[in-house]
Amino acid sequence: MELNLSNKIVLVTGAASGIGASVVNKMLEAGANVVGADINPVPFEAIQNRKKFLPLEADLADSSAAQYIVDETVRHYDKIDILINNAAVIKVRKGFLSVKDEDWFETFNLNFLGYVRTSRAALPHMLAQKSGVIIHTASEASVMPNPLLPDYSVFKSAVVALSKALSREFTPLGVRSNVVSPGFIRTAVYDAPGGILDSLAEKYDVDRESALEQFLSQIGMPAGRLGTPEEVADLIVYLASEKAAFMS
């Protein structure tokens, strides 16, 4: 299926790694011009079409960052057609009782309020042109909370509600809103020191890869493996395209 996004301007948050980095390259493959925002520098060597890519460094936990990245997108390209809300923090906890108030506020500020701010900044431009698409990355944890990720799970549920609220209000005005809730995707958070694989290895008292196999068997993962960022990115590009014009 050919998904033509030529002349579309796409803003992707959390663009330096994982799902966000894959979305950047998939959007470029589909012909879009892409702005990639991240607190970390986006590695240029991983970008397939640098001429159509604009990197921005921004910390979306900062209340002014969302407006900044949208303003820069519009200043450079004169419009914004598609917003991919993807930036998030994920920290493995030791259960609900281990999560302090400051942990809840930190996760809320980026994983939920960050999406609110970028949507609020982009919507006036989309409404003025009577077209636009906003896609939010949530998580399977939004419907099946993970005991190791209590705050993350709660605010991913809020992201689902946000997408529905935007859909109800703005789809009649030409702006679609959708949410993607990936299951277990092998991104850097799995392999990083102190990340999910280390937590599983400690739980099962085996090495990391053996722990992952036990975990996948225990939860009954139908595919028998973790998903890849590219597989999620393919779905996001589809939802951003005219092929999904009836979906919101």
**pLDDT digit string, tens, across residues 22-36:** 999 999 999 999 999
Phi, psi of 54 (to 5 degrees): -120, 115
Same domain, 207 and 234: no
Residues 55 and 111 grouped into a single domain: yes
Question: What's the whole-number mean pLDDT along residues 152-174?
Answer: 95
**Same domain as 208, residue 152:** no
Q: Which residue reads 């702006």 in tokens?
A: 175
In eight-state DSSP terms, residue 194 is T
Mean pLDDT, range 118-137, rounded to an integer: 98
The whole-number pLDDT of residue 129 equals 98
- Report the side by side order of strands in the sheet with 53-57: 53-57, 33-38, 9-13, 82-85, 132-137, 175-180
Judged against a pLDDT cut of 90, whether residue 232 lies above it is answered with yes
The answer as to whether 1 is a domain residue is no
**How many domains in the chain?**
2
DSSP state, residue 209: H
Average pLDDT, integer, range 91-120: 90
Same domain, 99 and 143: yes
pLDDT above 70 (res 45): no
| Domain extent at residue 180 | 9-185+228-244
- Given this model, what pLDDT does residue 197 score? 83
- When pLDDT is cut at 50, 70 and 90, the band that residue 210 belongs to is confident
Report the chain's C-alpha Rg in angstroms. 18
Determine the Cα–Cα distance for residues 151 and 60; give it in Å rounded to an integer. Answer: 18
